[in-house]
Chain A
Amino acid sequence: MSGLAKSPARRDPPFLVAGLIAVAVAYLALVVFLPLVIVFVEALRKGVGDYLAGIGDAEALSAIKLTLLVAAIAVPLNTIFGLAAAWCVTKFDFKGKNLLVTLIDLPFSISPVISGLIYVLLYGANGWFGPWLQEHNIQIIFSVTGIVLATTLVTLPFVARELIPLMQAQGSDEEAAATTLGANGLRTFFLITLPNVKWALMYGVLLSTARAMGEFGAVSVVSGKIRGLTATMPLQVEILYNEYNFVAAFAVASLLALFALVTLAVKTLLEARFSDELAAQRWR
């Protein structure tokens, strides 16, 4: 890597090198670092006591619990889906495969607000199934179920799109050999396929978890923002901020920011150590 720069044809004048580095660092500082730093500065503005009070508040705690619960449902669902989708897309040839792959990617191209809206159109009070649900006393919109639905849709592609390029590259020779030698499908899957893709799977799970915990637009449409009941952490941040309770808002936000930093660290580590076993595609 660093050998690259040593070729004389690639040597840029020192003032240009210094200038470009300065521009890049300044841009990153302004666009990326400053917002991150501000979160912690504002959270601690009134001292550690107020900060801890903000985090320890009963509503904040129930928001944390809800956020973890939603992620704990949505991420495993999408993991199972991602494995099934990757299995049929990469191990078989069938008509309409490209269309299927496009569909799997589609949720990334939809505005989060629209991802929430479409469930309201189905299950809301005026939704297609709204009257039926009301008759049977089932609440989906403005309840945890709706939040899980919207979060699952928003994070649907992560695991699948991480696995598909990798499993495509690995081919299916190993699985074919195992089956020929008499292993059944599940045994082949758990003993051959899964170990081959474990780091890519972890990478996909990491990115979906981060997005699931931080999702705002889709969740805000379906949640109803009932304090202590259907307010996830990002929604709790909004509620507190709109009440001018800035320290508490930034205290809850700082937890999300810390989690984002951990995500970045684990992601960087996975990329550095297992780059061959990860698909070379990026987060969106």
Chain B
Amino acid sequence: MSPAKRSWRFVEPSALPGFGPALGLTMAYLSFFLLVPLAALVLRPWEHGADHVFAVVSAERTLDALRLSFGAAFFAACVNAVFGTIVAWVLVRYDFPGKRILDAFVDLPFALPTAVAGIALVTIYAPNGPIGSIIEPMGLKVAYTPLGVMVALVFVGFPFVVRAIQPVLEEVQIDVEEAAATLGANRFRTISQVIFPAVLPSLLMGFSLALARAVGEYGSVTFIAGNQQNVSEIAPLLIIIHLEEFDYAGAAAIGLAMLLISIVMLFGLNLIQAKVAGRGER
């Protein structure tokens, strides 16, 4: 019996009602809140011609802002990859008093509004703040410098790596580690050659999420950055500056550039992650 030829169907038949209204509502809602506004972001940069888009995006000020946003986000994600891994390891593997509270507080950067974090961070690292007053005499300036941008992005991205790795660490089987130990691997070798490869794909995922979040971050950064043109001015702030000058096309051009760079970057990270995950399974 040859399989019955089936004509193209948009939706498979189902005993349940309500597909039409539910999908209709979903699509109408997405169009109104997301798709039509995004269409404006894609189309509006070009209204003064491609030359204007190129002039805005290749202006030294824009390039500096993009470099700062992506660069600081990258280094912040690296810092969190290292310390986030340690925090996740400690929370999964060791028992100590206060552990559950510590675990709950990992999510604080998600819950604390970014403006609140922003004014708290600048107060801490300002020349007369609790940390600023210690490190500035040592020659380390954080507030109102690109380093301050990075500090804010470290705060914002902290939970991602921890939360990505935790479930994987919990699932690493005892017998795998016991087998490695029985076969003569020392603890360092077990961790670097058995546990680390298992965790690496999630580490990369957490890294990507932290990076993506940090690239577009505005609230926690704007207070501590000092917003000095070409030095500590992030890309989202430059969008706001163009908007305040009623240069909608310019603002949209920078927004579109940010979005496209992020998409390419995340696509690349996804490819690496897929490759690493594939190798781990073999």
Can you list 24 A-B contacts (CB < 8 A)? A5-B94, A20-B94, A21-B90, A24-B90, A32-B105, A35-B112, A92-B16, A93-B11, A104-B30, A113-B237, A117-B239, A120-B248, A122-B36, A126-B248, A172-B14, A184-B17, A210-B111, A216-B218, A217-B236, A220-B240, A257-B112, A264-B104, A264-B108, A267-B107
Contact B240–A221 (Cβ < 8 Å): yes
Contact A9 B104 (CB under 8 A): no
> B119, A32: Cβ atoms under 8 Å?
no
How many A residues are at the interface, by size bracket?
35 or more
Question: Does B86 lie within 8 Å of A27, measured CB to CB?
Answer: yes
Q: How far is the CB of B218 from chain A (nearest CB, A)?
A: 4
Q: Which one, B17, B90, B95, B155, contacts A185 given CB within 8 A?
A: B17
User: In whole Å, how far is B22's beta carbon from the nearest beta carbon of chain A?
Assistant: 4
The segment out of A36-44, A47-55, A131-139, A197-205 that lies at the interface is A36-44
Q: How many residues of B contact A (CB 8 A)?
A: 98
B29 within 8 A of A: yes
**Chain B residues near A237 (CB, 8 Å)?**
113, 115-116, 119
Interface presence of A85 (CB below 8 A): yes
Q: Are B248 and A88 in contact (CB under 8 A)?
A: no
A166 within 8 A of B: no
B 169-210 binary contact with A (CB < 8 Å = 1; else 0): 000001001101110000100100000000000000000010
Query: Which residues of the other chain, B, contact A33 by a CB distance below 8 angstroms?
Result: 105
Within 8 A of A (CB), among B54-72: none
A7 at the interface (CB under 8 A from B): yes
* A69 interfacial contact with B, CB 8 Å: no
Judged by DSSP, the binding face of A is helix
Q: Closest CB of chain B to A66's CB: distance in Å? A: 14
Given A87-B18, A119-B37, 20 more A-B residue pairs with CB atoms under 8 Å apart are A4-B93, A31-B83, A31-B155, A36-B112, A42-B120, A80-B25, A84-B22, A92-B11, A117-B41, A117-B239, A128-B44, A172-B16, A185-B18, A217-B114, A217-B216, A237-B115, A260-B108, A260-B113, A264-B111, A284-B209
Task: Provide the bound-state CA to CA distance between A264 and B119, in Å.
Answer: 21
Name the residue in B15, B37, B121, B209 with the highest tally of chain A Cβ atoms < 10 Å from its Cβ.
B37
